[in-house]
Amino acid sequence: MSAPLLDLDHVVKHYALPREGLWAAPRRVMALAGVSLSVSAGRSLGLVGESGSGKSTLARIGMGLEAPSSGLARFEGQELASLSAEGLKRLRRDFQMVFQDPYGSLDPRRTVGWIVAEPLWRQSLGRSERQAAVAEVLGSVGLRSADAGKYPHEFSGGQRQRIAIARALITKPRLIVADEPVSALDVSVQAQVLNLLEDLQRDFGITYLLISHDLAVVDHVCDLVAVMYRGRIVEEGSPTDLFQGPAHPYTRALIAAMPKPIPGRRRALRKAVNGNGTAPSGSERGCPYADRCPHARERCRSEAPPLREVDGGRRAACHFAEEVMVLPSPA
């Protein structure tokens, strides 16, 4: 396996909450609780989990937009938090981000050409060179060069997301972090954008860190999937392994909650995904999923399970992962 482009080493991130009283000490919420993962060049990693699990916080730290409370975030061996503002700007041409909302991420007062060319401003390029680069990247995402003179409101949601992807591609980055890039789109448009991401990876060798709450989305694009719950990675492996034999009860619940047109299944799905998935304060003992897990035992409530290898390179943070893996598939 090639060296990692992005490497996170025991990253912890906590935020202070507003004081509940004049003399009360501020409480803290733990968004990330010691996350370690790496994204290798030429491969794609999908981050999956429900809202509040820490996926977007991890992405912001991986992009250098926030500093971790502890732990290290490195891009090609360079620690992001230790770089100067100027050094971070220079490095950012190698990693770009695509945001969830194609409506809110584009400036409605600017033309598409201006929006897409914005990351090039720090480079010594003439106007004609910038225009040529914009036309080339718009063509690579299935838009016309004439679209550069239009405004975002003249495009559909799927086309706006293509514009956002073009803006991320303009600097020819090695890594693209895509935070829920298709969740705001219609199902048919989702397929178009996901196919576009695959084509761009094949043509340009781009590496993706794809964030989603939908296992089916990451299965379409990613080589490796990491499942997050309450600021922790609870399972990591290939999409095939996770779908056919998940090793963590939370992964089983996510798969079971995927919409399926099966009569009589609705009540079972509610039972599988109920409970509180908000971020912990950091003081909890035991497994963070124990209060929702149908397989929890006394050990789960008193001892936090480490993220360990359970089968052929797959990892899971469950004391009884081997037992969970042999249960009937939830798909």
Residue corresponding to tokens 């079971």: 256
- CA atoms of 43 and 47, how far apart (whole Å): 13
pLDDT value, residue 177: 92
**Among candidate residues 32, 62, 4, the one with its CA nearest the CA of residue 231:** 32
Give every residue of the chain whose pLDDT is below 70, as ranges.
Answer: 1-3, 259-284, 331
pLDDT value, residue 152: 93
pLDDT value, residue 125: 76
Phi, psi of 253 (to 5 degrees): -65, -40
Name the CA dihedral angle for 77, 177, 138, 107, rounded to a multiple of 10 degrees. -120
pLDDT value, residue 272: 46
Q: Give start and end residues of each alpha helix (H) in the chain.
A: 55-62, 85-91, 112-117, 127-140, 157-169, 187-204, 215-221, 239-244, 249-256, 266-273, 298-302, 321-325
Edge-to-edge order in the sheet of strand 78-79: 28-40, 4-16, 70-75, 78-79
pLDDT value, residue 2: 58
> How many CA atoms are closer than 13 Å to the CA of 317, on its beta-carbon side?
25
**Among candidate residues 169, 289, 214, 231, the one with its CA nearest the CA of residue 46:** 214
- DSSP summary character for residue 206: -
- In terms of Cβ atoms closer than 10 Å to its own Cβ (0-12, 13-18, 19+), residue 76 is middle
pLDDT value, residue 261: 54
Residue corresponding to tokens 């309450």: 230
In this structure, how many other beta carbons lie within 10 angstroms of the beta carbon of residue 19?
11
pLDDT value, residue 184: 73
* Token pair belonging to 327: 């249960």
